[in-house]
């Protein structure tokens, strides 16, 4: 009798210790890779180099986004890209050699997320050539050209993750509509071909994550496109939401966890995110959004903890360092003031000093990645 009690107590102690060890391991680990987008804070060699160094020191992967057009004609005809395109690719490839992992994103949609992507040649974001101006995603030339472009980019960069379409649900569509049928057919053709030729790469579409009441209006569209992405990856900038407006205290607790209601066991990731650390305003458009470093830090802590709970594959922070210097040049060239919205999303201030959010990021970066 006594021996039975002793064994029972011993078993309870062992079980308790095992549970404690597992909990400690969970607290000291993370499910996700931590990546940052190569977004220089200025247009200078110093800023380019410093941005690379910062990412390599503070992230598991470097993310290159190419969202300023597609070399449509060259991709279709299999001819060399314009020297401006090649120069950009080669410069990034040179730096990519220093990264342990590389993620790459391209896009068939324009900046409005509804029209065909612009032309990339002598410059980026050029008007489409005359023979492309009326083409749509349903045109066989568009499908062929885009597949060929994606293949050339994958072959060049050899990424672990390849985003072949960004924010595809930005324009909400009825899944029974002709427009959606065209979009779905295009996406299906691209995904199938890329998956066949590069089976070891994660081929990904990104979606826009919004508060629950907004997500309910486009769940059908998201679910219809899930078969064509290896990961449900989202773009998320909650400081821009009306109900939050730069105050991280107002972030709904289910902002991220809601995704399991409609993607079930599909792998999840944050393709791009950020939060302002200073006020953002465009008075000509009656926009005024509060912001401070404490609120940004609170968001980073919420983001990474929630991502871990969801077993996220990766979390990508868009702006490593504030873009004040870059914005001065963009503003002088006549850029739309709306592009200033990401200026204070950096984990580092414009002068290179670390914000509180950087230290939160570092807390998680020091954790080992769970198998």
Measured at the CA of 118, the angle between CA 210 and CA 315, to 5 degrees, comes to 35
The encoded tokens of residue 168 equal 């595809």
Helices (H) and strands (E) in the chain, counts: 12, 12
* Lowest model confidence (mean pLDDT) among 33-37, 315-319, 333-337: 333-337
Confidence band for 258, pLDDT divided at 50, 70 and 90? very high
Q: Above 70 in pLDDT, residue 297?
A: yes
> What gap in Å lies between CA 347 and CA 35, rounded to an integer?
13
As a dihedral over the C-alpha atoms of residue 141, residue 146, residue 151, residue 156, rounded to 10 degrees, the angle is 120
Query: What percent of the chain shows pLDDT beyond 90?
Result: 89
Residue range 74-121, pLDDT digits in tens: 999 999 999 999 999 999 998 887 777 999 999 999 999 999 999 999
Mean pLDDT of all residues in 163-189? 97
pLDDT confidence bin for 67, thresholds 50/70/90: very high
Is 53 a domain residue?
yes
321 touches 347 (CB < 8 A): yes
Residue 10 lies in a domain: no
pLDDT grade for 282, boundaries at 50, 70 and 90:
very high
Assess whether pLDDT exceeds 70 at residue 249.
yes
The reply to whether 29 falls in a domain is: no
Distance CA 371, CA 369 (A): 7
For residue 95, the model assigns a pLDDT of 83
In-domain check, residue 14:
no
pLDDT at 21: 44
Instruction: Using CB atoms within 10 Å of the CB of residue 61, give its burial: 0 to 12 exposed, 13 to 18 middle, 19+ buried.
Output: buried
As a whole number of angstroms, the distance between CA 161 and CA 270 comes to 12
Could you tell me the pLDDT band of residue 1, with boundaries at 50, 70 and 90?
low
Answer whether 320's CB lies under 8 Å from 41's CB: yes
Asked if the structure places residue 17 within a domain, the reply is no
Average pLDDT, the chain: 93
Radius of gyration of the chain (CA): 22
* Highest-pLDDT range among 279-283, 338-342, 352-356: 352-356
Q: Alpha-carbon distance 28 to 370, whole Å? A: 9
CATH number of the domain enclosing 58 = 3.20.20.80
Confidence of residue 285 (pLDDT cuts 50, 70, 90): confident
Token output for 83: 């020297």
For position 15, what pLDDT does the model report?
Answer: 46
Would you state the torsion angle of the CA atoms of residues 45, 353, 306, 203, taken in this order, to the nearest 10 degrees? 0
- The answer as to whether 351 is a domain residue is yes
Q: Three-state DSSP class for 103?
A: strand
By C-alpha distance, which of 137, 147, 192 is closest to 168?
137
Question: Does 210 score more than 90 pLDDT?
Answer: yes
Range of the domain at 139: 34-369
Q: Is residue 1 part of a domain?
A: no
Residue 13 lies in a domain: no
* 20 has a pLDDT exceeding 60: no
**Total domains in the fold of the chain:** 1
| Backbone CA torsion sign across 146, 171, 113, 209 | negative
The DSSP 8-state label assigned to residue 122 in this structure reads S
Mean pLDDT lowest for which of 78-87, 235-244, 282-291? 282-291
Q: What stretch of H or E contains 237? A: none
CA diameter of the chain: 91
Alpha-carbon gap, residue 235 to 108, rounded angstroms = 16
**In angstroms, rounded to a whole number, what is the distance separating the alpha carbons of residues 247 and 252?**
11
Query: Residue 17: is its pLDDT beyond 50?
Result: no
pLDDT of residue 57: 95
pLDDT of 216 > 60? The answer is: yes
End-to-end CA distance of the chain: 43
Q: Token pair 């490593």 is at which residue?
A: 320
Phi-psi region of 44 (alpha: psi -120 to 50; beta: other; left: phi over 0): beta
Over residues 179-200, the mean pLDDT reads 98
Confidence (pTM): 0.91
Residue 8 predicted with pLDDT over 70: no
289 - beta bridge partners? 280
Rounded average pLDDT over 312-334: 96
Local structure of residue 345 (DSSP, 8 states): -
Helix (H) or strand (E) holding 92: helix 83-96
pLDDT bucket at 23, cuts 50 / 70 / 90 = very low
Least Cα distance to 206 among 262, 180, 167 occurs for 167
pLDDT of amino acid 157: 96
Please tell me which residue, 10 or 343, carries the higher pLDDT value. 343
| Per-residue pLDDT, 362 | 98
Give mean pLDDT, residues 219-227.
97
């Amino acid at each position: 009798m006594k021996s039975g009690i002793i064994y029972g107590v011993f078993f309870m102690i062992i079980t308790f210790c095992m549970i404690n060890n597992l909990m400690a391991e969970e607290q000291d680990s993370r499910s996700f890779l931590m990546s940052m987008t190569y977004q220089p804070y200025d247009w200078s060699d110093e800023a380019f180099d410093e941005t690379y160094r910062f990412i390599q020191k503070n992230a598991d992967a470097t993310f290159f986004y190419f969202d300023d057009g597609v070399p449509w004609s060259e991709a279709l005809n299999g001819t060399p890209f314009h020297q401006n395109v090649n120069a950009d690719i080669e410069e990034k490839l040179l730096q990519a050699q220093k990264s342990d992992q590389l993620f790459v994103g391209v896009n068939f949609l324009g900046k409005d997320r509804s029209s065909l992507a612009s032309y990339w040649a002598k410059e980026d974001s050029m008007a489409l050539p005359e023979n492309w101006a009326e083409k749509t995603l349903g045109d066989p030339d568009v499908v062929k050209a885009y597949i060929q472009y994606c293949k050339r980019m994958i072959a060049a960069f050899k990424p672990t993750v390849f985003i072949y379409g960004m924010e595809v649900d930005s324009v909400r569509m009825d899944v029974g509509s002709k427009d959606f049928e065209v979009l779905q057919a295009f996406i299906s053709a691209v995904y199938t071909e890329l998956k066949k030729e590069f089976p070891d790469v994660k081929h990904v579409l990104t979606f826009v994550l919004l508060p629950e009441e907004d997500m309910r209006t486009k769940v059908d569209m998201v679910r219809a496109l899930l078969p064509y992405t290896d990961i449900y990856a989202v773009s998320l900038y909650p400081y821009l939401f009306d109900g939050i407006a730069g105050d991280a205290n107002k972030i709904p607790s289910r902002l991220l966890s809601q995704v399991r209601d409609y993607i079930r066991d599909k792998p999840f990731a944050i393709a791009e995110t950020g939060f302002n650390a200073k006020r953002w305003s465009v008075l000509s458009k009656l926009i005024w959004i509060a912001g401070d470093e404490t609120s940004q830090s609170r968001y980073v802590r919420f983001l990474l903890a929630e991502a871990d709970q969801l077993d996220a594959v990766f979390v990508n922070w868009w702006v490593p360092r504030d873009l004040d210097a870059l914005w001065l040049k963009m503003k002088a060239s006549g850029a739309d003031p709306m592009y200033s919205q990401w200026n204070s999303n950096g984990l580092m201030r414009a002068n290179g000093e670390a914000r509180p959010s950087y230290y939160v990021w570092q807390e998680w970066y020091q954790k080992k990645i769970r198998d």
